[in-house]
């Protein structure tokens, strides 16, 4: 994404970024997956990697508002 998106609250240009998920081995970028979550005893959730999309998050440096978007699928 680009910094051309303005905050809907205060009209300040937003910063690119991401929100990290905590995993047993460290951190990873959040992903979006279609449908309802299905539990897996081995991995926590059953997910098809080809259906996942990285979640990109924009932040307003002035008021702190966050806005998230799912990037293209197939992470």
pLDDT of residue 23: 78
Strand partners, 13: 6
Query: Does some domain include residue 55?
Result: yes
The number of folded domains in the chain is 1
Exposed e or buried b per residue across 27-47, where buried means at least 16 C-beta atoms within 10 angstroms of its C-beta: eeebbebeeeeeeeeeeeeee
- Chain segment 21-33, per-residue pLDDT in tens: 887 789 989 999 9
Adjacent-strand bridge partners of 8? none
Give residue 53's domain range: 15-73
pLDDT tens string 1-52:
555 899 999 999 999 999 998 877 899 899 999 999 999 988 888 999 899 9
């Amino acid at each position: 994404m680009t910094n051309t998106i303005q905050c809907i609250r205060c009209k300040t240009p937003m910063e690119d970024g991401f929100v990290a998920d905590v995993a047993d081995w460290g951190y990873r970028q959040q992903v979006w997956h279609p449908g309802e979550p299905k539990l897996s005893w081995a991995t926590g959730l059953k997910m098809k990697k080809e259906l996942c999309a990285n979640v990109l998050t924009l932040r307003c440096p002035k008021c702190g508002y966050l806005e998230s978007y799912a990037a293209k699928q197939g992470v």
